[in-house]
Structure 1
Amino acid sequence: MEILDLSAPLDTDKAWAPWWARTRVKRQGHRFGALAVFLLTGLTPRFLRHRLGWANETLSLSSHGTTHLDAPWHYAPDSGGKRALTIDEVPLSWCFSPGVCIDMSHKKDGEAINEADITAWEKTEGHSITAGTIVLIRTGMDQWIGDPAYFTTGPWVTRGATRALLKRGVKITGIDAWGWDGPLSHMAQRARQGDGTFWESHYEGADTPYCHLERLAGLDQLPTTGFTVCCFPLKVKGGSAGPSRVVALLGPPGERDRHGY
């Protein structure tokens, strides 16, 4: 079995992320660790291997500030006529399922990914999306991670396409871009020039409970089918999302990977 990492790095992004979406990783080295040991225990560096203590990091980020899984609570307080699930309430069975990867990297900035695109992919691949499948949309936008354009550029998935997937019993979708509905500026422009609807595909989750993965990376590694997605989120109490280490498992379950594990 081979394990493919589909997660973006978690690191300080002040140099390229807008102020409202920044993550900070503050690193405390081994020398600082020696000071921490002294302050906590009174032990001097002579008690420590190489006179060094532990390394540590402190993180400052929103639950949406890196690769993450959105909960229905993110979209609205109610979903499907009931109180929406928070991320700690999302069934873990949703988060470990067969996946498909739909290549939409030909879509241009601001272009829609609609239901017809999904249907055409199924016809071309000879594969029908069934209940429980985790559907990943590849746009290629992960190439812009580290550039301000990551937050302002990219295609988007329509409410119709989202609804069509949910009607088939899909519980989790995902995209390798900043957001499922596209950049904020694009959403605002569509709302002003169209029917006044903002954040339309997220709001579909207020009618039918579902989760989606955002800020994925490396979907170009994946085949179209024949893999399992594992996307367990951090158990944030009452959270609207949870940062996740998302991976794809290739090969029959139980098969050793190329490293022998």
Structure 2
Amino acid sequence: MTRLVDLSVVTRHTPSEATPVTVDLLDHRTGATVLGLTPQDFPDGMAISNETVTLTTHTGTHMDAPLHYGPLSGGRPAKSIDQVPLEWCVGPGVRLDLRHVPPGDGITVDDLRAALDRAGHHLRPGDLVLLWTGADALWGSAEYLAKYPGLTGDGTRFLVESGVRIIGIDAWGLDRPMQSMIEEYRRTGDRGALWPAHVYGRTREYLQLEKLANLGALPAATGFTVVCFPVAVAGAGAGWTRVVALLDKESVAGEGSGAAG
């Protein structure tokens, strides 16, 4: 039997978000007055509820579209999130264990190759690569915003040129923390230090999944399918996404026989 593993965080107001999330509730009783009725007009003396939520498209687990990186990708108009082909959003998952890379450091091509070797996997077109840093353990705290490693520009190129269209990470962002990048730029004057993973998307289109969680719940580095359909916000550079891993029968059976994560 197929088992589902939720790889998403709960969207809510938390110190782990850089921008606030507000939820204004229209409760079951007040909802009746909006319709010009009273609660007593409804069964059980209650109408129906509603919520008004204010947040950014980069709040919670979400997918970045090529438009987020720049107006052009590969010399063509960059896709907004509502233009992302759904076929890209389902495919074989590959979890790369990068928990040894220190917070603030860049995840290099050598790091990726070593992780692939440990996983016993050769990248194939259509693979969805999930970078396992362990940073989701800090979700709910302000430390989550700054204590994680990020993918380098060369690392991004390596994955995308290997046929990967979607790269995910269990951290606040795919690049290194903002402060680490800005400090390097101010020290060196090298503009390439600023958001290199994102900026690579101006060369070749790819998608990012940020703020993943629970990658440690996957029983192995491969043997599962990732499903990650973004909400189609017209003309937006990102969309909220419920990311789920579907474990195949072999993976589910392997859990009972002590399969390593």
Q: Settle same-fold status: TM greater than 0.5.
A: yes
Deviations 1:116-154, CA, capped at 9 Å, x for gaps = 111112222221011110000011111111111111221
Gaps of 5+ in 2: 253-261
Gaps of 5+ in 1: 256-261
Tell me which amino acid in the other structure corresponds to 2:153: R
Aligned to 2:244: 247
Matched, 1:214 2:215: no
Matched, 1:52 2:53: no
Counterpart-to-counterpart distance in 2, 1:69 and 1:47: 43
Give 1:17 shift.
Answer: 4.8
Partner SS for 1:116:
helix
Counterpart-to-counterpart distance in 1, 2:143 and 2:191: 25
Report if the CA contact (8 A) 2:7-2:245 is conserved.
yes
Deviations 1:205-239, CA, capped at 9 Å, x for gaps = 00000001001111111120000111100001001
Partner SS for 2:230:
coil
Aligned to 2:196: 200
Aligned to 1:26: 24
Deviations 1:78-106, CA, capped at 9 Å, x for gaps = 00110101101111111011111111112
Report if the CA contact (8 A) 1:153-1:182 is conserved.
no
Tell me which amino acid in the other structure corresponds to 1:184: M
Aligned to 1:118: 112
Partner SS for 1:245:
strand
Counterpart-to-counterpart distance in 2, 1:181 and 1:45: 50
Counterpart-to-counterpart distance in 2, 1:239 and 1:152: 25
Aligned to 1:6: 7
Counterpart-to-counterpart distance in 2, 1:217 and 1:49: 40
Per the alignment, do residues 134 and 4 of structure 1 end up closer, same or farther by CA in structure 2, a change over 3 Å counting?
same
Aligned to 1:188: 182
Matched, 1:160 2:158: no
Matched, 1:136 2:130: yes
Counterpart-to-counterpart distance in 2, 1:153 and 1:189: 15
Give 1:247 shift.
Answer: 0.5
2:32 to 13, 31, 37: 37
Counterpart-to-counterpart distance in 1, 2:4 and 2:53: 26
Counterpart-to-counterpart distance in 2, 1:49 and 1:6: 38
Counterpart-to-counterpart distance in 2, 1:75 and 1:90: 14
Counterpart-to-counterpart distance in 2, 1:30 and 1:73: 39
Report if the CA contact (8 A) 1:114-1:160 is conserved.
yes
Per the alignment, do residues 91 and 252 of structure 1 end up closer, same or farther by CA in structure 2, a change over 3 Å counting?
farther
1:78 to 68, 72, 83: 72
Counterpart-to-counterpart distance in 2, 1:209 and 1:216: 21
Partner SS for 1:123:
helix
User: What CA RMSD, in Å, does the superposition of the two structures yield over aligned residues?
Assistant: 1.7
Tell me which amino acid in the other structure corresponds to 1:211: L
Deviations 1:235-260, CA, capped at 9 Å, x for gaps = 0100100000111111159x9xxxxx
Counterpart-to-counterpart distance in 2, 1:95 and 1:10: 20
Partner SS for 1:206:
coil
Q: When the two structures are aligned, how many residues end up with a matched partner? A: 247
Report if the CA contact (8 A) 1:80-1:209 is conserved.
yes
Partner SS for 2:124:
coil
Tell me which amino acid in the other structure corresponds to 1:227: F
